[in-house]
Structure 1
Amino acid sequence: MMKLGFIGTGNMATAMMGGILANGLAKADEVIGADPSEAGRNRVQEKYGIHVTDDNKTAAGQADILVLSVKPQFYADVIEGIKDVITDRHLIITIAPGKTLAWVEEQFGKPVKIIRTMPNTPAMVGEGMTAVCKNKYVTEEEMEEALKILGSFGKAEVIPECLMDAVVSVSGSSPAYVFVLIEAMADAAVSGGMPRAQAYKFAAQAVMGSAKMVLETGKHPAELKDMVCSPAGTTIEAVRVLEERGFRSAVIEAMKICEEISKSL
């Protein structure tokens, strides 16, 4: 197994490390994480037993596959600091919305093997959804290796780069929309007399089960909705109110603005 490096050890990096190590794609002593925060370094070292450093160049120099797991606004500075130690043996994996393959290569100032990805936070529980695309220097074998790594904490799917901003809105940012939905559902249940902790459990399980039905039955979401809506029943009245209040439109408009912001990063 090639040595893995992470620049940044935040939530997404931690989720990725967990999946990689749990699935035996690397051993702890084959992973190194760089972070200026001592607390961040200590957290991942204690949790996974990996090597840590406060020096990005050290992590980059030791790694074969290097994940740039920092926020988009820090990419230019991070790449400036490590580009001298990056060679043609390195495979760079990015997770930053708005940062194109061409932009990242331009920052390095030389041909570099780059795989652009957009994961999401459910990776933290092994249910991530990651979109993947590559530049021309990445071989098919290297892409397969990357897909194994990215699939270790959920699902990973290759897409054309032109769809990456849509991915940000439909899966990258969308857990937040779902959490708002779950919170609202639980609030209503509490209003109906259910204890708060129980309300969150019922709402979250309903969302998880509904999502599983879409994925596993192959049925259109509208068909699944119709199965729940009995004539003159409770559910169709709830759906009617959602339509009246512009539920679909609110979701679509929220996702479109998310996509536009992603394009501007």
Structure 2
Amino acid sequence: MSNPHSEKRTREVASLSKESDDEGRMHKTSHVFQCMQCDLQFQADTVIVSHEGSQEEEEQLVRLRLPEGISPTQRAIAEQMYDHSGKGKTHMTIRTQPLRDEHKELLPHIERLRTMADAIGTAPLESVRRGVDEVYTFLTDQLTPHAQAEEHVLYPTVGRLMGAAEATATMSQEHTAIHRYTQELGALRSHLSNASLSATEEQALRRVLYGLYALVKEHFAKEEEIYLPFLDTHLTAQEALQMFEALEMAAQEAKRSVVH
């Protein structure tokens, strides 16, 4: 059954002009789609193929023209909007692939936590200052909004489907620990304005950076090995689309509340 509420949030804006081949068996066409709540508009280029000896036509996707710099979640919204339009199918088969892709985009920044910890006590202090500023900005501007969106959308979805709201309690506790580490790193940054770091300050920086690295890596692994496969098998395509829309809105709201 279609979801009327979802139809109000996502709609086809227009079908653009069609072009035909010389024999009239293949027609090129384009459709413009818009997600009104997640501020996303894109174009789908398709071909309509008329099979010889049959009155049936088949519409095939050529490509999605997506805005530059969109997130994996926004890409998933676009793909699933097109899938649900009834005009054809994209090739996305794993419901939670956008979340896995987002983790891949975040991992180089997570690795930076470890390399910065390795550099404490050996790299020049100015290099340490820049590196700590870099990882702290990543934590506050990217990882924290990602975690807040999961708390508001992903984990309640898992709890509902499992029939146990406490199913992700451990994951929420890890988010709390990551937040505390981030706050501690923010406090330690103030000491980096000094001419040098004491052995105690160096030890504290290493502890926080290594702690964050280990905790976030383990956290991502749990999500990808336990919770995302569960969602892959229990979410319908429509539910996945609604979840991605809600995740994107929650992440954007969290980013707007970041204070520097």
TM-score, normalization by structure 1: 0.25
Of the two, which has the highest radius of gyration? 2
TM-score, normalization by structure 2: 0.25
Question: Which protein has greater RCO, CA pairs closer than 8 Å, 6+ apart?
Answer: 2
